[in-house]
A and B are shown apart, each in its own frame.
Chain A
């Protein structure tokens, strides 16, 4: 067994971070310094560590664990997400004091699991990493003090999650039986036509179901709005972003054997189309912001399918780029949700009224986030969608592209409502506390908004990274500049 420590420095770092938090959570309650005081620095160091290892390349553990451009791309995204979420949760009003260290430990373990997931290229390893990432999530969702809804959503997430992973495991056994291997690279060379190999295709469908659950793709999305609504705002920002990145990286890897025209690819396209349409139509009717974001994420899961089914390195790169855009946009919007709901309540549209006056930077950032989610230029959301459309057009799924375009038109209405309430409605609800207008809240929102805008105006560097990652999956040697 080959084990190269230098390849997995970021993973080891996160493991140690999790262990440190575990020690703190087991220790004295008076233990100083408080976890919020040191963990942001720890997370920032983790981000730097990951960035510093972006060029790492190699295979280990009997070829089950591959460190390549794609995995490093997602690891950087995950580290960045973790850093933002740690900062965001540092003022979580609905978390009991004695549970803080435990909460962060679980967050860190989940992130560690997701980082492992980015590098797994073998189905059993993927399954293990996925479970490591999931168990922590099951525990943190109900951690919302004095909220019955939180417990309910926790139970929902566990039950749905258990069913989904059971399905995935069942599917895995079918794949193993039919194809005699669990390595993605070998699976890619096998026959995936339903008529030739029905058991394998059924197994793959079931296995993908586990990923779809994490991604909240139709019809595995039912947990999503409920869990967002029940979990605290800050926890929801984690659930909404990080596990999805994990699911996307696996789907991107597995998409290398999804050729256009295969039954399974068509199935993905159909699910994508349903996901966009159901997500957007359901979101139209929502009043609770987190439920709205939940349904919107169902729609976004559908958008990502457009890149996956195209069967080209560009398509995978577009999906990876869109995943990053999705991460940034959602972190931004959830940051604002958390800062507006200073008492940790669930927000409704009316809570945003007059935000431009009370917290102009938050309002401006919300506008950037909302327009990015719509896909309006010059934001990252637009570039992401544009890359998806361009990569998928003329590869057999033009109808899917058209559905994406039409869905973007539907989605305008509810995203515009966010903007409309923040900027054009004057009267706020008096009894609620004012939004957090501190420099910390503004700076966080402003920086994330700037990232969404800058990556929209100048997407080339990020996209070059993504395309190098996409090509690496197809075995095309790429320098990262062309």
Chain B
């Protein structure tokens, strides 16, 4: 209290010393580093994207203008990769968000040490490194002796082992299940936090109105969760758009191109064929797509 009183008296001092020019310059080291490790590569990518640049060529090819872009649009693998990216991203994010939401609501009412432990245990999958998630599921998906097939056979849901990752139709859903397993805890954690942030008076007054569990969820809790849900979904859409480790370590984009997303495609172009020019053009298209989500995200964040 007395402290605040002092502050009131000192107001003029506070104002006078408010502006210290060198404070502004403290952002410079960060900007300098980012300019070098991010700014420069982005500009370089734009330049590469209009060149025929293959690392293996002795004489690098020259400027080809929109050449890379036009061949990109007639490249069926590009369209497949774009489609796969959309399926992988939106499918995984939607299901994870739904699972996270359901479990956050289910555990919302439960207090006490045992439920704190449950909450912590539900976060475990998120702490598993992506590469480990990939190998773990690869092991569980094995056709012969894999635990997934074993359990499905045992429960009678299938009558012969399924080659989950070697079947073009099943590989994508199988990879998505692994991804959802790893990502759902993120939504669970964030939505739980949002739920516990609902002011008690709101809950109390709703209870006085004898709101039943369902209407409480529908009319009180879900509206409160809308913004956190939008923000976290956008965040995970961006993250999944960029996801490489899980897909690469599980299927390397196969079989065929069935799990080839844009990241995997660019990686292959650049580091297996060394087609840096073409890969960069693909990267630029993708950068533009991503910017749409990044801008949406920043706007959603501002609104909060």
Is B a genuine binding partner of A?
Answer: no
